[in-house]
Structures are given as structure tokens and as C-alpha cells.
Structure 1
Amino acid sequence: MNRIKWAATCVMLAASLSASCAQTEEQEVIEPPGTELEGMFRYMADAAIFRDCRNGKSYPVSMEGQYIELERAYLNSGIEPGAELMINVNGQLLERPAMEGNRNKIKLIVDKLNNIYPDKTCSPEVHAELFGTYWKLVELGGKAVITPDGMKEAHMILAANESRAHGNAGCNNF
């Protein structure tokens, strides 16, 4: 009977040790599948990096999903190897355990490549004061705003010390 208990204890201990050694693939969803993302993609020496235009953060691109389609588009785009290419994709950002160390890393998984823009970059960050600056409407719903001749351009100025805004909506002052 002692041999059976001893064997059962050994089996339980071995199972416990092997389970604790196995790395779990825990992942946290940062952006859900199908999220539209636009940014700069770079591929160099089997390393793919995506720089998000929304916040300037860079993420490694996981070589799964529709990654191979993105890599082909990059290689056929005509840009210099290692240079950045603006892309629009549907994908997801997942936080996964890093290959080395005990840290997690956020990675982009490409669900669908929507478009590439070889001649575009992320819009530069504007450094202007919020108050006292002439803010002109230049784009609305993704389309350029063109002011017709004889009309005032749509704009506004925020006045900090007066807690008000003034400007023109195109045909009326406010």
C-alpha cells in the first residue's frame, strides 16, 4: 500500500512541477479585433514595427493573421528597405508575455490590410497654445474644407481670460 501512495505522490508532484513550468499564453486585449489603425510600418531584418499615428507609440507586429499580406505590400511599395510606410489596417493590439524576461509586450495582429500610402506620413504634432490661437477649419469628415471666394473662412479663437470663444462659422460670426 505504501508503494501505491508513494507512486501517486510522485505522479502528483511531477504533474504539479510540469504545470508550473509551462508558460501560459495569457493575453489582454488592448484594442479589439477589427479596430481600424493607421500608422507607420517598418520592416527590417525580420523585425516588423508599427508606430501608431494616434499616439506615436510603437508596437512589434506579430507574424500571424494577415501579416504576410502586409509584408508583401511593404516589399512591393518601392520604398527604401527599412524606411517607414504609412498603412491603414484592421487589427488588434494584444498584450502578451514577452519571449524574454518576465515582462509583457503589446503586439499588433493584422486582421486586414486596407491600404498603403507610400507618399504620406503621420500628421505632425502641432505645438500651439489652445487659448489665443486662430483655429481654422481645414478638414471635416475626412474632406478638405475650401472657402468660396467672398466668404469668410470658418475659424474660432478661444479667449482664456474671458471664458468665451469667438469666430466665424462660414456665414455667421459667433
Structure 2
Amino acid sequence: MNCFKWAALGWAIVCAAAAQAGELQGQALYRERIALPDGAAFQAVLTATSGSTTTELGRAAADGADGPPYAFAITYDDSALVPGAHYSLRASVLVGGKPVFAADMALGLPAEEPVSLLMTAVPPAEAAGQQRLIAGMMRYMADAALLEDCADGLTYPIAMEGGYLALERAYLAAAPAAGEPLYVLLDGTIAPRPAMEGPDRDSAVVGAALAVWPGTDCAGQAHPADLAGTEWRIDSLKGQPVTAEEEGRSPQFQLRPDAGAYSATVGCNQIHGTYTAGAEGALTLAPGATTLMACPPPLDALERALAQVLEATRAYAIAGGTLVLRDQDGTAIAVMTAH
């Protein structure tokens, strides 16, 4: 809109107000042919992250039971746009207050064209706030921490609860400098938490800090390794680090898909057995033959821990080149990296 010097004062004020209002238009849909119940709600939320602060710029809502596509228009204040900020859009359909379909998008503002999001079904465990494996780039400065989730490219504040302090200590010990990004691996959730200002914000909630990897990033971990056929180096067992002994075997674990068998060692005896990998990350490891050398400390204790982990394994998860083994409660009991 053009405002001319000869415009009346009232008109000039209207022009100024209009010039400050930006609008993001778009639509969101899902492909499943599902009739949603009455009370279902659609919402699209636009946020900005700058430094350690995440701010909601605006949101739009609609009746979710009407079904897709959901058209929306979010009005925001142009003055809230900050050079270097990261802007994110989340579209979701809620039933009973819990997401059943959702999609996230990183974008630039102002957007030149309407955006389109394809929402996918939210797994029941994620909708219920259960933990999952999260890999991302963490930054910590000024008593605030942020996590860029490698899965969706979005940046979330990290809630200072649960396993946060252990993650912070690991970051401070390994980060090249304060405020620098560091690749981290954790069990946790993305869930609403109270914000300093405004409504609740989606935040990374740490259940357990699993590992930090200096020298890598999301791009370097973009392609998940295969469970079987990959040589996995054992990095930790039941939370205890595993390091290779001088002139000894490297601690490793490998599944051979052609034989349905596995082998594992912490650097002393070779443990062999068979495995069964099922749907949705299920994994069981049956014991087999084992060499019987006497292992010196600390390999003797590590080997006992390895045997316990193999027996207790019921599931696995992979993020990039990292494998996590879980017990029947979903607790991470081993962390390994692809080699």
C-alpha cells in the first residue's frame, strides 16, 4: 500500500498500521480418509527463535471436524521480524487436546507465496508424551539452551527439568566454546512447557542424556545406518563409557542378516548368538557360543555388563549413525556408533 505525503493524518495512521502487519497464508492437509469426531480442532502456529528466545508471532484455528484441506491465514507484526531469526510453522489437528496429525516447516519471512503442509499421523506414543530418540544440535548460553531437532530442522527451547542438568554438563565439557552448536543424542519428548511470556511453547524435554559427539552435525547424520550388516562400535553400556584397550579388540557389535546371527565383544571374549528383529523397532538377542578367555580388569566387568545388555535387549532405535538398545521398559541400555 502506498501512503502519500498529502494524505490526511487519519489515513496516514491507517497506512502505517497496515504496513506493519504481515500475513502468512497457506493450507494443511492429511491423506488418510478418516472422519474426525466433533470437537476436533485445527491450529497453525507461527514462531520465531532468536538467540535463546522463542516467541509466538501468531496463530490460526479452525474446526478440525470439517476435514482437510485446512486453509489458514496468520497475521503477524512486521516489527517482530529480526535479522538472523529462525521462523517455524506447526500445523496440527487435535482430538481431546492431543495431536493426531501434525507437520512442521522451517520458512523465511515474509513468505512470497502461500505455504502448503502435508500432515502425517502422530504415533500414539509421541502423542501421549512418551520418550523417543532425539538427535540435534544444542547451543547453550546465558543460562538458556536451545535444540535444533535434526528430524525436522526446527529449534526448540530445552526445558530445565528431567535429565537436563546431565545434558548441560556434557555440553559444557565437550563444546568447543560457549554458545557453539554441539551434536547431542537424548531420550526425550517435544511437549508444551510454560513460556516466559505468552502461551505455552513446544520445548525439548530431556528424559536422559545419552551422548554428545563433537565434530559432527545434522547433515553428517542425515542418513540412518542399517541395523544389520553395520559394524557398531560400543560406546556405552548401562550408562558407563566403553573404551578400547591398547592392542586389544575394538568393542563392537554386529548383526549378520544372512545368518540371522550376531557377534559382540568389549575387547576380550567373542559372544555369539542369534537375533530376531520385528516390527516397530523390536529386537531380541538369544545367547549362543562364547569364547572363555579370562578377562583382566576392567574388561571383566565390561563383559558382564555386555552379557546383561544383550539378554535384556527388547528394542532398538537408530538416529543417523547411532544405535541405541533398549530394555523392556524402553530404557536405553547401550549406545553404539556405526563404523
In the alignment, residue 52 of structure 1 is paired with which amino acid?
A: D
- Secondary structure of the 2:219 match is coil
Q: Any idea what the Cα deviations from partners look like across 1:73-93, whole Å, max 9, x if unmatched? A: 011114111001101100111
Name the counterpart of 1:64.
161
Deviation at 1:39, TM superposition (A): 0.5
Secondary structure of 1:55's aligned partner: coil
Determine the C-alpha separation between the residues in 2 that align with 1:62 and 1:138: 27
- Pairing 1:81–2:178 present: yes
The counterpart of 1:119, out of the listed 215, 222, 228, is 215
Residue matched to 1:42: 139
Which amino acid in structure 1 is aligned with residue 132 of structure 2?
A: T
CA 1:28–1:74 in 2, change beyond 3 Å: closer, same or farther?
A: farther
* TM-score, length of structure 2 as denominator length: 0.29
Shift of residue 99, structure 1, vs aligned partner: 2.5
For the 8 Å contact 1:28–1:96, the answer to whether it is kept is no
**Does the 8 Å contact 1:42/1:82 carry over to 2?**
yes
Asked if the contact 2:190–2:205 (Cα under 8 Å) also holds between the matched residues in 1, the reply is yes
Q: Which of 133, 140, 151 is the aligned partner of 2:226?
A: 140
The CA deviation at 1:28 is 6.0
Question: Where in structure 2 are the equivalents of 1:82-101 lying within 5 Å?
Answer: 82-101=179-198
Which contiguous aligned blocks of 4+ residues in structure 1 show a shift greater than 4 angstroms?
27-30
| Whole-angstrom CA distance in 1 between matches of 2:215 and 2:221 | 18
1:43-91 superposed Cα distances (whole Å, 9 cap, x missing partner)? 0111100000011000000111010000100111141110011011001
CA contact (8 A) 1:33 1:90 kept: no
Match of 2:271 in 1: none
**Paired AA for residue 116 in structure 1:** V
Among all aligned residue pairs of Structure 1 and Structure 2, give the percentage whose two residues are the same amino acid: 35
CA distance in structure 1 between the partners assigned to 2:174 and 2:98 by the alignment: 33
Seen in structure 2, the aligned counterparts of structure 1 residues 119 and 47 have a Cα distance that, compared at 3 Å, is same
1:105 paired with 2:201, answer yes
In structure 2, the CA distance between the partners of 1:67 and 1:141, relative to structure 1 (3 Å rule), is same
Structure 2 distance, partners of 1:125, 1:79, is: 19
CA contact (8 A) 2:185 2:211 kept: yes
* Whole-Å separation in 2 of the counterparts to 1:91 and 1:114: 10
- TM-superposed CA distance for 1:118, in Å, is 0.6
Aligned-CA RMSD value: 2.9
Equivalent residues, number: 107
Whole-Å separation in 2 of the counterparts to 1:100 and 1:138: 38
CA contact (8 A) 2:164 2:206 kept: yes
Q: 1:96 to 1:78 in 2, by over 3 A?
A: closer
Cα distance in 2 between the residues matched to 1:76 and 1:63: 18
The structure carrying a bigger strand percent of its residues is 2
After superposition, the Cα gap between the structure-2 partners of 1:138 and 1:92, relative to the gap in structure 1 and judged at 3 Å, is closer
Q: Which AA in structure 2 matches 1:107?
A: S
Q: Structure 1 length normalisation: TM-score?
A: 0.53
For structure 1, the residue ranges without an aligned partner over 5 or more in a row are 1-26, 127-136, 145-174
Give CA-to-partner distance per residue, 1:79-138, whole Å, 9 cap, x none: 11100110110011112342212x331011111011110111002699xxxxxxxxxx99
Change (3 A) 1:28 1:64: farther
| 1:162-173 alignment runs, 5 A limit | none
- Structure 1 distance, partners of 2:207, 2:225, is 29
Match of 1:167? none
Whose relative contact order is higher, 1 or 2, with alpha carbons under 8 Å and at least 6 apart? Answer: 1
Which amino acid in the other structure matches residue 169 of structure 2? R
